[in-house]
Structure 1
Amino acid sequence: MDQKKQNILDFDEYIRQGEPSKKEKASIWQTAIGLQAVDGLKTSDYLKETARKHIEGEIDIDEVRLLVKTYYQSKTLREPDDDGKQEADKVSANITKILSSQTVDFSTGGYIAIHRRVFEGVFKHAGKLRDYDITKREWILDGDTVNYLNWEDLHRAIDYDIEHERTFSYRGISSDDMVVHISHFVSGLWQIHAFAEGNTRTTAVFTILYLRSIGFAVNNDLFARHSWYFRNALVRANYKNALLGIDYTPIYLDRFFRNLLLAEQWDLRNRYLHIHATDEWKVQLNFADPAIETQVEDKCRTSAGQVQDKLHTDNANIKRLIVAIGNKELSVKKMMDALELKGRDNFLNLYLKPAINEGYIRLLYPDSPRHPRQRYLLTAKGMVLYNAHND
């Protein structure tokens, strides 16, 4: 691996083997960067290298923020995605600073302040409630939108939700009821959509701080790796269409919080959330369920009713590829980079094609193999092998 690649931060390595202080910083950075996916943003290599210096204790978080700001001010060669990277870099640094604190102002003013702090130096309207109504086309809704609150009632609605949560008692309720209640609170707060932009990232940061403040040991990994699922689950929880026979569906968000708070292992992939999910994605898997192999066999049956293949493989190349893909959707180049392979033909013949043929990997666009944005992801069968490797 060349020096440039070595300099790109490996968060997982810090989290698995780092000292406690480094592990905590790396986890926060991973969450901050992961949350940018809700708006399709990616951070720069410069941000990751600067984050590494912060984790190693060479600089503090305010120095990180200053370095990032200076980097974009002094940059002379512009690239097409610079605006997106600049937003992602600055917001990631801001979120890292916020999540490094253990305090939260659980009030309407505190919620609005989180937006201001997250988007400081990014949006001119940071910390300001929107003054117009909005709609947003969602791919999981086939282009339809959630009905967001009208702008005149934003402050009143936030007041109501936060005050209702403040007076709620968790004493004596079951873990199931606890998760449902938290899910409902977060869903309602997000549905207000108080800001012109950045509502999901603000709600996620506020939620993490709040859950910590009432005693939960929040696993940042869920927000880091599944922020896009978190957003889409919020969408489904707040979408209803009587003509299509679709009611509010909070179960997907409940499952996110069951993983977060109860250490369950629901398969958090966005394909389950589409209002017209294909047969393969209609039943969401729980990898903590002892009957998981039966669930996967049901999903892997062919039209003739036969189980396609055994659930595990002795092919070392397939195993390596499954571990490299994990919960992600990767291009051929990204898979080859992850495996440090150079020969495309050998990769296709020895890794990718066997994994597809044995039912472990599928195409994101199966009807268009040469799609310009083609990606590859694990099937339910592949996820079983991946999770078995991580146990």
Structure 2
Amino acid sequence: MSAIDARDAITRAHREEWARVVASLTRRFGDLDIAEEAAAEAFAAAVERWADDGVPPHPGGWLTTTANRKAIDRIRREAKRTDKHKEAQALYDDDPPEPIGAIEDERLRLIFTCCHPALAMEARMALTLRLVGGLTMPEIARAFLVQEDAMGRRITRAKAKIKAARIPYRVPSAEDLPARVSGVLAVLFLVFNEGYLATGPDTDPVRPNLTAEAIRLTRLIRTLLPDNGEVTGLLALMLLIEARRAARFSVNGEPVPLDRQDRTAWDAALIAEGHRLVRERLAAGEAPGRYQVLAAINAVHTSADDARDTDWSQIVALYDQLVRLDPSPIVALNRAVAIAGLDGAEVALAAVVRLEGKLAGYRAYHATRADLLRRLGRNLEARTAYTAAIELGGNSAETAFLTRRRDELG
């Protein structure tokens, strides 16, 4: 095997195994720094060994075993007491299998384990996305609308708190799940969003493996917590968005706006399931949470056979409800898009402009403003807004779409 082939194999293994190896070592040794350094050493060793010996039959197991040995070697070097050596040796030789607890799926179990309620919600989300979700630091930073170095500092602080407070990385019991589920849902929603429309410039615009995994894990959570309305709401939301995937991009790879999509290409089975779940939550008679309202908005969109039949008044009313639950500028921006459908581009533009101070670095803000200006015939201003959106970067398909829209203005 050539060195290039070995690196390609490592890249595939990194995507599939990195998060699992790090999370497993963290639970085993109780130290995130040791876990990450041992995993990095194992992957470095793989680059050398696999180039000569070829990829082993079970690369994940090879990496896990090697990383365990690397971690134990470090513990031995740093340990000053005999009992530390004995503990490390015991882990090295015969590590007993951990109890599965309430969750049988390994990845879901890791997510619940990392979403410890002792950490701030944003910290547990970022940490879990990094260690278990497999997202890169730039992808996580873009999800939180912050700079990469700022997100790195947040994750470092979360690790430090885990170490200082001796927060245990133990498998959660059934009684632990309700206190952790909100963080787990937030993580899965961000993973789904990265798959639905990738943010990186060098990735495919859609990553079906991420959306499929987020849906799979959310289905599992629903079997664990069938009466939790937000779990059902998130599953419905994902299904209704995923149903439109086949129509979201043109033959040349550019994104197709919702009002121009071929609705006959939407997945009718996923839409039917999503609608059923939304109706189920409505029948429950409970006050809906954020994901349930978002699912209801998407149910209205997918109920219209033609974009001109969209019930914009109902969508705006749902956004009004969502703003009370989540008064974020991004929700306000999406509400403005709905306002454009109900009251026209000029009213919507006034709402968008008021968000500039909060969303000046957010690509979708400038793209939305550009589209509204284009509809109003204010082409020069629209060109400037499109340029601002393009310069903020993003996946290549979105950039090509925005560039073409700008250039069409002359």
The answer, yes or no, to whether TM exceeds 0.5 is no
Which structure shows the higher helix fraction? 2
TM-score, normalised by the number of residues in structure 1? 0.28
